């Protein structure tokens, strides 16, 4: 007998037949819809496990630069590897849902670790408004959203504003980058910050200069506790 449940099942099967979800890394069919990766590739994700580790490499790389409570990154970034592919899809192929998936995953880690204690506010690193307009979205927003949801924290999507477009600075060394990026982030509402534990989030942490500039801008206007989280890092 065909009832509405059968019809729903048939339409899902038909949908899968015409629009199968393939693994973003190897192209094989995904066993679980919405996971973006097949079981094999999921098991090969280069996880850092920093969420469970005090004084991990990422935290140590910020020593003397930002007074941090804790820092974590879900994955190691490897050139031409799976993580680069995922982040590229997220940034340039209009797949913000990858950010949601990674945010849920990292929120679970952070909750389990208990190292971060209570997070009050999740704040994503902003893009310059011109860049965001061109891309249509900030690739970190959905990641920040699912982290806030998973950690039962508020989301401060527009709490920081980027006020100058930094042209390609890749040729400059870390010291120069820090100097040029300083004062580029403006806090739009400092009343939300006082005494809060802020989780500052970004897609990839490389030199840490962006995180440092954002953290400096936030702590310049209020007495806060800062932790960091990213999808990937190069440490």
User: CB of 108: closest distance to Zn ion in angstroms?
Assistant: 21
Q: Does 226 bind Zn ion (CB under 5 A)?
A: no
Mark residue 141 as left, alpha or beta (left: phi above 0; alpha: psi -120 to 50; beta: remaining): alpha
Greatest distance between any 2 Cα atoms in the chain: 71
Q: Does 41 bind Zn ion (CB under 5 A)?
A: yes
Specify the residue, 32 or 118, whose C-beta has the smaller distance to Zn ion.
Answer: 32
Q: Does 29 bind Zn ion (CB under 5 A)?
A: no
Specify the residue, 199 or 232, whose C-beta has the smaller distance to Zn ion.
Answer: 232
User: CB of 36: closest distance to Zn ion in angstroms?
Assistant: 9
User: CB of 21: closest distance to Zn ion in angstroms?
Assistant: 11
Strand ranges (E), the chain: 68-76, 121-124, 154-155, 160-162, 185-187, 197-205, 225-233
- Out of 26, 32, 163, 179, which residue is the one contacting Zn ion (CB under 5 A)? 26
Residue 110 and residue 97: Cα distance in Å, rounded? 20
User: CB of 29: closest distance to Zn ion in angstroms?
Assistant: 9
User: CB of 235: closest distance to Zn ion in angstroms?
Assistant: 26
Single out the segment in contact with Zn ion by CB under 5 A; choices: 37-45, 101-109, 128-136, 223-231: 37-45
Which one-letter DSSP state was computed for residue 47?
B
Burial class (CB in 10 A: 0-12, 13-18, 19+), 149: middle
Q: Does 38 bind Zn ion (CB under 5 A)?
A: yes
Residue 126 and residue 148: Cα distance in Å, rounded? 16
Q: Which residues bind Zn ion (CB under 5 A)?
A: 23, 25-26, 28, 38, 41
């Amino acid at each position: 007998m065909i009832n509405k449940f059968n019809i729903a099942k048939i339409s899902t099967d038909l949908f899968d037949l015409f629009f199968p979800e393939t693994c973003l890394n190897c192209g094989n069919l995904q066993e679980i819809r919405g996971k973006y990766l097949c079981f094999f590739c999921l098991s090969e994700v280069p996880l850092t496990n920093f969420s469970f580790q005090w004084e991990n490499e990422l935290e140590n790389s910020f020593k003397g630069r930002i007074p941090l409570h804790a820092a974590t990154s879900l994955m190691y970034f490897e050139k031409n590897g799976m993580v680069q592919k995922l982040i590229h899809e997220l940034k340039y192929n209009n797949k913000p849902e990858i950010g949601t998936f990674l945010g849920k995953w990292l929120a679970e880690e952070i909750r389990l670790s208990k190292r971060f204690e209570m997070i009050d506010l999740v704040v994503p690193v902003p893009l310059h408004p011109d860049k965001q307009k061109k891309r249509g979205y900030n690739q970190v927003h959905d990641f920040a959203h699912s982290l806030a949801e998973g950690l039962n924290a508020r989301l401060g999507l527009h709490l920081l504003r980027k006020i100058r477009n930094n042209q390609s600075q890749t040729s400059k060394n870390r010291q120069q980058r820090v100097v040029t990026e300083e004062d580029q982030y403006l806090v739009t509402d400092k009343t939300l910050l006082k005494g809060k534990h802020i989780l500052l989030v970004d897609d990839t942490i490389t030199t840490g200069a962006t995180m440092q500039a954002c953290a400096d801008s936030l702590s310049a206007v209020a007495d806060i506790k800062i932790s960091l989280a990213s999808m990937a890092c190069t440490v």
